[in-house]
A and B are shown apart, each in its own frame.
Chain A
Amino acid sequence: MNNTVIENIRSSLGRTEQTPLSLRPAIYESRQPESVDSETEHFLEEVRKVSGVAQKLSPEGVAATLKSLVAENNILKATLWHSPLFERLGIESILRSLGVDIVSPTADKHDMALCDLGITGADYLLPETGTLVLRSSAEQPRAVSLLPRIHLAIVRPEMLRPDLHQVFAEAKDSHYLVFITGPSRTADIELTVTLGVHGPKNLYIWMLENR
């Protein structure tokens, strides 16, 4: 297609197809990471600042903590990513034993929307902002962190990256990424902060401790 938009831009800028690209200005240095422990603490602290509930957890503590989460939030239906970590932890069988219905993460969107809880992992974590970075695939469907009213992310310290630079260097070839920083929020009515307007109302993050 003959592109008049590009032609007009070139004529306004006094450029031609042959005009070379000038050098892009240099970007600043990236943030330097601290020890894993302090990066972990920093991450959890930032999650709390944006109204998330964040805690460290040993793999043995998962069953009991999941039980109280289900009881406190009256969870009847849940959906979760396909993940080797979740299989090792036995998440699905723990939930079933608690009487929670499991909905396939690739189920129809209407079924997904009925879930109370969506459980995901994360691909990367950003300590400076308390951010989860999630890729998308058939194993990691986008709706799990979006449609249920509660989002639980079970993550590990290895996922921590010092800054956006490292995340982008590793993930920019991905066809879909989402950064999640706290639960869904709005201040559109009289500037009153309200959580859970379209996305999840609650965000729980469990950082599994390495043994």
Chain B
Amino acid sequence: MSDDTHTYIGFEEYSEHVPPSIPSAVQQATSRFVDGRAARVAELPQWEQLRQIGSDIRLHTIENMDVYLTRLETAVQAAGGIVHWASTAEDARQIVLKIAKEHNVRLAVKSKSMATEEIGLNHALEAAGIEALETDLGEYIIQLAGTGPSHIIVPAVHLKKEEIAALFSEKLNIDAPADPIELARIARETLREKFLAAEMGISGANFLVAETGTLVIVTNEGNGRMCTTMPDLHIAVVGIDKVIPDWESLTVFLKLLARSATGQKLSTYTQFITGPRRAEGEFGPKEFHLVLLDNGRSKVLKDPVGREVFKCIRCGACANVCPVYKNVGGFAYGWFISGPIGAIFAPQMLGTPAARELPYASTLCGACADVCPVKIPIPTILRHLRRRVAQGDDFAASTMPAPIRITASLASLALAQNWIYRFGTRILPFFMRIFKRDSWIPSAPYPLSRWTKARPLPPFTASFRKWWNVRSAKAKPRAGTGTTSE
């Protein structure tokens, strides 16, 4: 479990406060990515084969993670890089702060990194008097706005150009027009100075290649290149789940990633960084540090069903097709990874007590599993986590409210014992009569009120068995005549 006790994620409550502008903006983004992905997938006849191999390799890597991480460490060191192991988020923050202080860092430029979000690195740096600047355009905007990301690929998609112009005008003390191209130009100029001035670049990684100790970073804007090329010091903070065996494996994942994420064949820039620079004039950092972050991951590995979450290559395709995500957006998930993958990631990393609502933030429609480039069985893991939430798990006791737990136990008993079930169907209409108004039940007592506060409940009229028997009896003569023609 993560060492930082996480505040409770109230998905239900957060969803109720999502402003209507969010679903409309999010749906514009997701429909574009869904179409782009579909077009790229259609071009590649071996797509399904690639997905299967991708899934097999990721699973193999998870099952042999200790071997590959040990190889990775040796290879990074051989290339002149420095490897740090961080068991907890606090360890990771301290490692980065120590390195930054040793180099008198005052400004750090950051390329989009989920791992540094996870450990809250920006706050820690700022508390130590070090400015930490996000440089991906979307991340830069939400950092200025002081909000979280609404989408993994386009984090500021919920903001209109007018809002961004007002934000730039206020924070940068300029007169910014509400034009996306002009706004991007302003960001380019503002951040260009920062890239050249920063003493430290911070990045994550899309993959870590164990074979040669290589960090693979995929970006479109070029900020990832800037952060890892301009400052003399580069620190990468990466979750241990990002390791892959070798470059042959990489051929598979590079083909899957951009196609699934943005509908590109490849993202604009893919960097393969093995240690620091070798020659003075080639640019690139003098010193390269890799912080390998556990923060609860090694514990998650214990669950053979749940650990398949680590196959994830962070493309966001599952969120783009998810009917729940498309209506609530990223904020409602209360964690830096949202959508279906967040719903199976957060409860395992933060513990079921803190994130017990997330496995239920799904209709189990299965669209996510259909598009996942590495075939993560998300609905299966959601159901598995629901069971862990309800029954308690190795890490925590059940935190289900008692009425729901009791109702669920009674339901499970009734569904297992035929006579109780039949008896129930006979007495149910009498109970329902109390709450029935006209032909609907507008409000019912807890826990059914959770349904009726959103929509009325159709009353239970008759048992299916009874209805079926009546129907069969009526239909018999007709069925008889039907068969005579044969």
Contacts and interface: CB of A to CB of B under 8 A. Distances in A.
Indicate whether A and B interact. yes
Interface of A: 1, 3-6, 8-13, 15, 21-22, 24-28, 30, 46, 50, 105-106, 109-110, 113, 128-129, 131, 136-138, 140-143, 146, 163-165, 168-169, 172-192, 194, 196-200
Contacts of B156: 188-189
B226 interface: yes
A173 B212 contact: yes
B251 A168 contact: yes
Interface in B281-331: 281-284, 292, 294, 298-302
B53 A22 contact: no
B249 interface: yes
A131 B268 CA distance: 9
Interface of B: 28-29, 32, 46, 49-50, 53, 56-57, 60, 63-67, 69-70, 79, 85-87, 135-138, 141, 154-157, 159-161, 164, 180-181, 183-184, 187-188, 191-192, 195-196, 211-212, 214, 220-223, 225-226, 229-230, 240, 245-252, 254-255, 264-275, 277-284, 292, 294, 298-302
22 contacts: A8-B87, A8-B298, A21-B67, A25-B53, A27-B57, A28-B252, A105-B281, A106-B280, A109-B230, A138-B280, A142-B225, A172-B214, A173-B212, A178-B271, A179-B269, A181-B266, A184-B220, A189-B161, A192-B181, A197-B184, A197-B188, A198-B223
Contacts, number: 238
B250 A186 contact: no
A152 to B, nearest CB: 16
**The 4 nearest A-B residue pairs measured at CB:** A199-B222, A106-B281, A8-B298, A188-B138
Given A5-B87, A189-B137, A194-B180, A163 B251 contact: yes
Contact of A175 (B29, B79, B187, B294): B79
A199 B157 contact: no
A178 B180 contact: no
B249 to A, nearest CB: 7
A120 to B, nearest CB: 13
B269 A175 contact: no
B251 A27 contact: yes
A138 B281 contact: yes
A21 to B, nearest CB: 5
A27 B249 contact: yes
Contacts of B141: 188-189
A46 B266 CA distance: 11
Contact of B284 (A3, A176, A187, A200): A176
A50 to B, nearest CB: 8
Contacts of A186: 137-138, 184, 220-221
Contacts of A26: 53
A15 B222 CA distance: 41
B181 A194 contact: yes
Nearest to B231: A109
Contact of A27 (B53, B271, B282): B53
Contacts of B60: 22, 24-25
B382 to A, nearest CB: 22
A5 B184 contact: no
B222 A146 contact: yes
Contact of B229 (A15, A28, A143, A192): A143
Nearest to A2: B85
Contacts of A163: 251
Nearest to A199: B222
Which interface residue of B70, B164, B252, B271 has the most chain A CB atoms within 10 A? B271
Given A12-B298, A146-B222, 13 more contacts: A8-B87, A13-B63, A24-B245, A27-B57, A28-B46, A109-B196, A164-B251, A168-B250, A181-B269, A184-B268, A188-B221, A194-B180, A198-B192
Nearest to B298: A8
Contact of A22 (B63, B181, B247, B248): B63
Contact of B274 (A142, A175, A198): A175
A185 B135 CA distance: 13
Contact of B135 (A3, A27, A198, A200): A198
A183 B268 contact: yes
Contacts of A143: 229-230, 283
Given A8-B294, A22-B64, A191-B157, A177 B271 contact: yes
Contacts of A183: 268
Which interface residue of B49, B191, B283 has the most chain A CB atoms within 10 A? B283
A4 B301 contact: no
B282 A138 contact: yes
Given A13-B65, A168-B247, A5 B294 contact: yes
